[in-house]
Copies of this chain bind each other. A is one copy, B any other.
C-alpha cells in the first residue's frame, strides 16, 4: 500500500486538483512543484512525462471508482438508494468544494486534444460507470423498485449525462446547490412515489 512514496501521492493529488480546475492543458509541472514544495525536475523523477502522470491519475481514479462502487453495493443493496447515494456523494463533493468536478468528465470534454493513452483511460471510466449504472437500473426495474421508460442502458446513459451536466451547470452558475436541484427531479422520475 505504501509502494508509491508520499511525494508521488502528493503530486497526484495536486495534479487532480489542477485538472479538476482547468483540464489537461490548464496546469504545468511548475504549478505542481510549487504546491508540493519540490522542484520541477523532481516531478520527472516520479513521473517521467506529463502523460505518465495523468495516465496514472486516471487509472487510479478508475480503480477507486471500482472499489468505491463495490463497497457501496455491499452497504446499500437497494437500487433506488444506490442512485440516491451516488448522486448524494457528488452533491456533497460539490457543496464542500472538496472535489467540485469529476476528473474524467472534465478530461472527456477535451478528449480530441488529449494524449491517446489518457483518452483511453477516460473512455474506460465512462464505460465502467455506465456499465455499473446499467446494472443498478436493470436490477431496480426487475424488482420494481425503479420505474424506467427506456432500456436500462439508455436510462443509465441519461442518468450519467444529467449528473455530468449538472456538475457543469453548478460550475457555470458558481452555485453549489444547483447540482442537487437538478438531480432531485431526475431521481424522482426513476423512483416510484411511496405515497
Task: List A residues at the B interface (Cβ < 8 Å).
Answer: 21-23, 25-26, 101, 104-106, 108-114, 122-123, 126-127, 130, 149-150, 154-155, 157-158, 160-166, 168-169, 171-174, 178, 181-182, 184-186, 188-189
Given A164-B164, A164-B169, A182-B154, are A149 and B188 also a contact pair (CB < 8 Å)? yes
Q: How far does the Cβ of A82 sit from chain B's closest Cβ, in whole Å? A: 19
Nearest first, the 9 A-B pairs at minimum CB distance are A161-B165, A22-B113, A165-B165, A25-B25, A150-B185, A164-B165, A126-B172, A108-B172, A21-B112
- A17 to chain B minimum Cβ distance, whole angstroms, is 10
Q: Are A109 and B149 in contact (CB under 8 A)?
A: no
Q: Which residues of B contact A168 (CB under 8 A)?
A: 105, 108-109, 161, 164-165
Whether the pair B113, A21 counts as a contact (CB closer than 8 A) is yes
A181 to B104: give the CA distance in the assembly, Å: 21
Q: Given the known inter-chain contacts A109-B109, A162-B162, A189-B189, please indicate yes or no for A181 contacting B157, CB distance below 8 A.
A: yes
Q: Are B21 and A23 in contact (CB-based, < 8 A)?
A: no
Which residue of the partner chain B has the closest CB to A25? B25
Q: How far is the CA of A134 from the CA of B58 in the complex (A)?
A: 37
- Nearest-CB residue, chain B, relative to A21: B112
Q: Are A181 and B165 interface neighbours, CB within 8 A?
A: no
Given contacts A150-B188, A182-B157, A185-B150, contact A111 B23 (CB under 8 A): no
List the B residue with the shortest CB-CB distance to A170. B161
